[in-house]
Structures are given as structure tokens and as C-alpha cells.
Structure 1
Amino acid sequence: MYLKNHSDIANNIINYSDKENDKIKVLFFGKNNKLTVHPEAKIAGTTIRFDCDDGVCTIGNNSFNGFIRIGQGCSVTIGDQVTCTNGCYISTAENTSVTIGNDCMIASANEIRTDDGHPIFDIISGRRINLSRSITIGDHVWLAAKSIVLSGSSIGRGSVIGLGSIVKSAIPNNSIAVGVPAKTIKKNIAWERPHLTLVKPFIKPDSSFITKSQYWDLTCEEEPVVIKKKSIFSKIFRF
């Protein structure tokens, strides 16, 4: 079905608005699932798929686009002012969650996965060795093109993940992490949205040429990833 207010006999619910968005496809294959989308969200070209039961997806006032898979008892939360250039893939399974903070910038061909899609076992013990684990991405994080965030990762607010990097650990706030696996190579950094060729001045040698955001913080290794800015979205829908 397309994105619109909806409820069915399996207790699958969509909270959106009185209009229908034919650019968003929603698929329910289980029961007791809930999708809530901010009425002013500019998401397009997106498929949201609930494979199992008891899944929750919340999309704020942003311009996300891509594919979101919600597994058994899983949740995906995407904050406000998140931008996505093209086709982010998000996958959850086995009671895990993906949380993306406000004002994040997602480039193209990115993946965020709490699971590997298929189980891998130790032959001797029979134990599972690739358990699914939740992911947290703080406010104002920039995922460069083709970067991937895997299960159990956390990225502190204000950080940058480099082109083609694969995150499988905790990245502190206001830092740059690159490589496979991604490692922190620079701390105490801040990035801003003005594009180098689309926003004047076209040469920006220092920070005097931009307006500083609220995310200019020194790197703190001990800082937990916390989404600090409360979304107006929760006030509108009272949840």
C-alpha cells in the first residue's frame, strides 16, 4: 500500500496525515506493527517493510529516501532535518533498533544494518556467532558515500564517517573515522552543510566564512551517544 493513515485487523497501524503519499510504499507481513511519519516529511522513493510482528518505525520531519526493513520486535527511528542524497538501506532483526539523530547528512549507497541477514554458527559448539545488535547514530553525523554502519556500532554527534568506510565499533563525537574497519583518525572537528561549489563564497579557507552550528564540541572519549534535541514530532503525535 501507499503511505496513508491506516489500520487493519492484524493491528498494523500507520499514523501519517489525511493525505496519501504515492511515493512511499508500505508493506506489512506480520501483526502489531506501527509506522509514524511526520506529516511534513519530504521522504520519497522509499519502501518500508515490516517482515514480522511488533515492529515500530518513526520518521521525523526530514527528507530520507531508501529501503527500511523492520524485523521481529525491532524499531527504526529517524530524527528531524535528516537529509539523504540517494538510497539508504536500513535493516533490523531480532529485537534490535536503529536510532538516527537530528540533522544527520546521509550521502549515497549507504547501509545501516543491525543484522547480517543470515545466521552463522560455530561448528563445534553450535552457538551463533553473528548475533544482531542495535545501532545508535547521534545528531549531526555525516555518513559519506558508500559508508556502512554495522551491528553494535555507535557514532557520537558531530562526527564524519569517510567514503567507503565500514563502522563496527564506537566512534566518539566530533571526530573523523575512515577505513575498513573504520578507525578514528582526527578528533576535535566540526563540519557544516554549506556546499563547496553550490553556496557562496566558493572558497572557504576557514570558519569565518560560515555560520557555526551548535555542534562545535571537543571530542570526549567517554561521551555516550545521546540524541539531545527533542523533536517537535513527538509533541504533535503525543507519543
Structure 2
Amino acid sequence: MPTNYPVIDFGNNNKIYFTASPVVSEINEKQLNVIFHGKDNHLFIPTPDMFQHSKIIFHGDKGYAYIQATKHKKISLNLGIHRQSLFYMGENCSCNGVLNAIVSESRHLIIGNDVMFSFGIWIRTCDVHLIYDHTSHKRINLPQDVFIGDHVWLSQGSSLLKGAAIGSGSVVGFGALATKAYPSNRVLSGSPAITGNKEITWDRTSSHSYTPEQTENSIDSFEKADAFWYSSEDNLSDYQVQSERLRQVNIADKEEHLQWFQQNPLIIAVPKRTWRDKFYSLLK
């Protein structure tokens, strides 16, 4: 357990843990403003200096957020975490604008490594208001977890709603609205988003300032992108099973919660890679 992490205690068992920092006594609110409206909430971040123009609000009790370090530009978040909900962001993610996310109704948003967020992105795990079927009188818009695999590019203005699961290596196109599970190495486009037929890969290089010669050379410059092909076998089959297992954990106990990730692989998009490896680093 991370008993030796520097921590700021905000009272009511609301705490921020610094997983890669020396002792931190205060946070610059212009970089990161954290607000607690409940109790027993826990935020894990490497260092407050990795954020800019960020706000994280815990709206209830027993919320969790784990954010890993990045080698890219600073992270910008507008994040709301409600009662017994969890947010996880893997290593080396980047935000060109502010990433807006609301994690609520005891659901979870799990983001892989090397995910690139453009401007105007919104992610939600529920619809907030209730919709009922006229005949059955049953609620028909239940909340669902949202998953994003490794090396995913979310283009400007795209949105992910409850139940979205983006396979690794994929691109969510400009203004696309993702509402279901999608395979790896595909382009998603439209509202609601549909999957393109071609298998694709991509890399982070910006072409804004390319000369005509550089554009021509980029046609066959495949080496960097070639590293980001992912297996599509069973890459979406475990989403619901694993998210339900996660929900069964009593997250009122931080130690039990972290121990769960040690013992239970949560497979997202890439069958040979598990989320156990990602969360295990929190325990060192």
C-alpha cells in the first residue's frame, strides 16, 4: 500500500496523494483546483505541476481518481466525480483543450495510456435524468461505464456517452458521438458513431507546419505508426463482466479497492495487456 506517499488531508477523510512528488503543502489553484463536497474521497496524482486550468470536484462520498504521469504537455481537466464513482487516466495522455468528464451514478471512466484529447471533448457515464418506458414502467436509460483503450485519438468536438468502449489504436472522428463498443484500429465517425471498414493506425506527429515535401514524404513514413497495431480478438468481450466485478468491490475501503486491482486483471481492448499492470504501480 502507498503508505509513504505525501498527502494533503482536507478533512472528512478527503485526501490528495502525490505519487511522484516530494512533500507538497499546497496546490496552485490556477493549475489544479480540487473541491470536496463529501467524505472519504481520494485523489492520486503524481504532482500538481502536471496540470493547467484544471478543476476536479468530488460531489459525493467515496469517489476515487487515479491520474498517471505524462511526458506530453500538461493535463487540463474539468472533472466531476460523484458518489462511489471512479476515474482513471493512464500514462502519457495529453489534452489540447480542457477534457470535460462527469463520472456519476456509481459508474467508472477508465482511460488507457497515450490517449490524445483534442478540444471540446465531453464524456459522461449517465444521462443524469430518468427515462421510463410507457408500457413496462421500467427505467430504460441506466448508467454504464466508459472505457478508452491505449493510443486512442479523440478528435475535436467528439463525445462519449454511457456504454462507450473505444478499442486501442482507434480514432474518434471530428464531432463523433460514441455510444457503444467499437473495435481496435478503426476510425469512428458520425452521430451516433459508426465504424469504418479499414484497419488504421496513427501517430502523434503534427502536420500543421509541413512543407509540400514533408507532406509527400509522410505518405510512406509508416515506421512510427506501425507500433500501434492491436489484436482485435475478444477485445471487447470482457467490458461488462469486468466492470461489474469492479462495482462489487467495497470502495469505502481504499485498501480493499487497490487490492482488487492487484488481484483482478481488467482487460481493455488489448487481450495481452491488463489494467492490473497499470494499477499495480500505485502500490509500489
Asked whether the two chains share a fold, i.e. TM above 0.5, the reply is: yes
Q: 2:92 aligns with which of 81, 90, 93?
A: 81
The alpha carbon displacement at 1:39 in A equals 2.5
User: Is there any run of 5+ residues in structure 1 with no aligned partner, and where?
Assistant: none
Conservation of the 8 A alpha-carbon contact between 1:108 and 1:146: yes
Q: Is 1:28–2:75 an aligned residue pair?
A: no
Q: Is 1:102–2:113 an aligned residue pair?
A: yes
Identity %: 30
Within 5 Å, which residues of 2 pair with 1:16-165? 16=18, 17=21, 18-19=23-24, 20-22=26-28, 23-39=31-47, 42-62=50-70, 63-165=74-176
Moved more, 7-16 or 114-123: 114-123
Q: Is 1:187–2:198 an aligned residue pair?
A: yes
Whole-angstrom CA distance in 1 between matches of 2:181 and 2:49: 30
2:234 — aligned with what? 222
Whole-angstrom CA distance in 2 between matches of 1:120 and 1:113: 16
Q: Is 1:206–2:219 an aligned residue pair?
A: yes
1:10 — aligned with what? 12
Whole-angstrom CA distance in 2 between matches of 1:6 and 1:180: 43
Structure 1 vs Structure 2 CA RMSD: 2.4
Q: Deviations over 1:45-84 (max 9, x none)?
A: 1110100111100111133212111111100001111000
Q: Is 1:238–2:283 an aligned residue pair?
A: yes
Whole-angstrom CA distance in 1 between matches of 2:150 and 2:49: 18
Moved more, 153-162 or 6-15: 6-15
User: Aligned to 1:214, what secondary structure does the other structure show?
Assistant: helix
AA of the residue aligned to 2:17: N
Moved more, 12-21 or 119-128: 119-128
User: Aligned to 1:140, what secondary structure does the other structure show?
Assistant: coil
The alpha carbon displacement at 1:124 in A equals 5.0
Moved more, 4-13 or 94-103: 4-13
The alpha carbon displacement at 1:183 in A equals 0.2
Whole-angstrom CA distance in 2 between matches of 1:173 and 1:67: 27
The alpha carbon displacement at 1:128 in A equals 2.1
Whole-angstrom CA distance in 2 between matches of 1:208 and 1:27: 46
Matched residue pairs, number?
233
User: Is there any run of 5+ residues in structure 2 with no aligned partner, and where?
Assistant: 1-5, 237-267
Whole-angstrom CA distance in 1 between matches of 2:32 and 2:47: 13
Q: Pick the structure with more helix per residue.
A: 2
Conservation of the 8 A alpha-carbon contact between 1:12 and 1:34: yes
The alpha carbon displacement at 1:221 in A equals 6.1
User: Aligned to 1:202, what secondary structure does the other structure show?
Assistant: helix
Whole-angstrom CA distance in 1 between matches of 2:111 and 2:101: 11
Q: Deviations over 1:190-237 (max 9, x none)?
A: 00011113478731442436534531246x263233463744x853x4
* TM-score, length basis structure 1: 0.88
Whole-angstrom CA distance in 1 between matches of 2:10 and 2:221: 55
Whole-angstrom CA distance in 2 between matches of 1:154 and 1:47: 25
Whole-angstrom CA distance in 1 between matches of 2:79 and 2:165: 19
User: Aligned to 2:221, what secondary structure does the other structure show?
Assistant: helix
* TM-score, length basis structure 2: 0.75
AA of the residue aligned to 1:171: Y
Whole-angstrom CA distance in 1 between matches of 2:228 and 2:62: 35
1:196 — aligned with what? 207
